[in-house]
Structure 1
């Protein structure tokens, strides 16, 4: 018997991750250099790991409150007030989640009803559209371009606004492009959201990873935005804590209360060990984080210069740890480029169309790997590009 027709239509409607296919191929090959997975190559700093070990030794192995350790929520609130001058109530406006992925899912399931449209600037993180679909909504991709450094504008959004539009989902600094919005640009977006009474979900997981003259602006800190914004963040990228699966959401009490209802029936709470480690990261992890960011910046310059020197158009990414070179002058599609490069030169990266239609003609490369691997990967990519560039 075929069971496929018994599977939920919303699940059948989503495609498998466009990132994973190439890494399934790479896993069966030897001598592959991966510039694909968005994961820090650093190990979680020892003092953070030690706090977890100490917690286990002291017997901290039970459930926490659904919303997470109050101690952790208070530290998050202090951070937002210190860095962005926006104030939250740790008891009513913060929810600790199992990674930012859960926070995103909870936010969308809380505010999206069947048929609601969600505006999503593209290229965008692969989970955004899938999570909207699973929540019963319609994801509406809003293309951005390299000419505008992949920043979204009000003009872009207005072209896709309809009476069904309910939510704007943004992620800056951006995965996959490395784009960072200016404060002035975000102020215009904020006015647009207010004028059209939109809920804004702002994924700011890369907020600490900005370079050069770029400055991250917290969306909920903008005038009149805190009440209508669900702010998402976490510890995976800034503190090299991907496997700990610890994130959080901040929003008005009504949104957080609703998200918590879903959370308590699905996850119940984030692991207590990860929450203890997150407290330590916020209290004493800033110096290690800055060292990692400085190293990412060094790698950013290396890979940007390398891409440009081999003849690929590439804007300067100012955030996250990705670069998004244009490969149109090779005559290959994004998927052709990625697959042929992997098979001939053994370098794994992600085709740009995995992040939406406007990513076609580009590829995503992560520089969250060592300088030696980046240098060798650049040599291999250049060998490949020379054979195809027009």
Structure 2
């Protein structure tokens, strides 16, 4: 007698992987747009800037020059050299381009490969929460156990090393850090990171550090890479990419930096996921990611994001019932809606269906109280102003009992 498989459910590991609420709200926004509604999108981490000109032109040249065949599955050598220089410039850590850098098809693939390579059934993965949805999903795909470490608003969503130590067990294999953080905008302090690194060495676990927003830091905050701390390069796996800082979300280019003895096993995982990343994009980035015009255009984007952060906080200050913790980095802000007598889920739903403004309830990012929504302020100035006009209008209606 053959077993009656229900193939629509996938494997057991897929039972631990939930659909992304970010995508759910983005999909609903698309449906409303098809109905003719003008939707303001604050839901996805999509910078509205264009890819730097030199990179686009270099990519066209690379295609014309027939860089359309398989490159090395580890990456195009000149690009690895550029990534090495870039990483050392902004983190102070040197990675050998020949043995310690792997080019991937997006930072998402880098995260996927790193977790599948080093985490398996029986392992525990600690994830500070709220957090980007991928970390929880990948932990489930690996068959590992997720250990949430909930962050508190009163601390500015900073990680507490003492609380971290309490959840470490002999099965702890990995701590996932996102610094600066999506969704909270928190940037981990030097003192906090130093203590976290001491715990990693004391209890012998890896730190998977998602540093995709490392260039987006505001005010007096400063970014420090986990790998820059003494004794940490050998137990830190650094994920970064080009989507955010270089406004290249659709190009799907990322990379991993890690000590040489960790790379061969991870490369095997990469070999059977995407094999290699497109040659012409790698050639273009090698040529133009650090050109004077690219540096100028990237800095203009970073400066504009800082202004948009200030604009969003100014707008929120004028809406009674909404409160927030000022974000120190990335381009997200967590907004507390309890002052309007609503949950984050209800507020986001009402805002999308009635005012056509897409946000994400933070409960979808594993914020436990359902008190917050997440805004992305990577949208245009015009969309930010119009979106907050609609939010202000809805908040007034809620206060008036409509």
User: Cα offset for 1:226?
Assistant: 0.5
The question of 1:142 aligning with 2:149 is answered yes
> Match for 2:355 among 345, 363, 368?
345
Structure 1 segment 127-276 matched on structure 2, within 5 A: 127-276=134-283
User: Cα offset for 1:389?
Assistant: 5.0
Change (3 A) 1:28 1:176: same
**Aligned 8 A contact 2:319 2:392 in 1:** yes
**Aligned 8 A contact 1:236 1:242 in 2:** yes
d(CA) in 1 for partners of 2:332, 2:225: 20
**Aligned 8 A contact 1:108 1:132 in 2:** yes
TM-score (ref. length: structure 2): 0.94
d(CA) in 2 for partners of 1:281, 1:363: 37
d(CA) in 2 for partners of 1:182, 1:137: 29
> Match for 2:66 among 59, 62, 65?
59
The question of 1:102 aligning with 2:105 is answered no
TM-score (ref. length: structure 1): 0.97
> Match for 1:20 among 23, 37, 55?
23
> Match for 1:8 among 2, 11, 25?
11
User: Cα offset for 1:388?
Assistant: 3.1
Structure 1 segment 9-48 matched on structure 2, within 5 A: 9-29=12-32, 30-48=37-55
**Aligned 8 A contact 2:58 2:288 in 1:** no
d(CA) in 1 for partners of 2:370, 2:284: 39
> Match for 1:322 among 332, 337, 345?
332
User: Cα offset for 1:105?
Assistant: 0.7
**Aligned 8 A contact 2:52 2:298 in 1:** no
User: Cα offset for 1:3?
Assistant: 2.7
Runs (5+) with no aligned partner, structure 2: none
The aligned counterpart of 1:303 is 312
User: Cα offset for 1:6?
Assistant: 6.1
Secondary structure at the counterpart of residue 323 of structure 2: coil
The count of aligned residue pairs is 390
d(CA) in 1 for partners of 2:200, 2:187: 19
**Aligned 8 A contact 2:17 2:140 in 1:** yes
User: Cα offset for 1:227?
Assistant: 0.5
d(CA) in 1 for partners of 2:100, 2:163: 31
The aligned counterpart of 1:388 is 398
d(CA) in 2 for partners of 1:380, 1:81: 44
d(CA) in 2 for partners of 1:359, 1:77: 41
d(CA) in 2 for partners of 1:11, 1:378: 38
The aligned counterpart of 1:286 is 295
Question: RMSD across aligned C-alpha pairs, in angstroms?
Answer: 1.5
d(CA) in 2 for partners of 1:293, 1:358: 31
Change (3 A) 1:243 1:148: same
The aligned counterpart of 1:313 is 323
Secondary structure at the counterpart of residue 375 of structure 2: strand
d(CA) in 2 for partners of 1:58, 1:15: 43
d(CA) in 1 for partners of 2:10, 2:355: 39
Runs (5+) with no aligned partner, structure 1: none
Change (3 A) 1:326 1:279: same
Q: Which moved more, 1:350-359 or 1:118-127?
A: 350-359
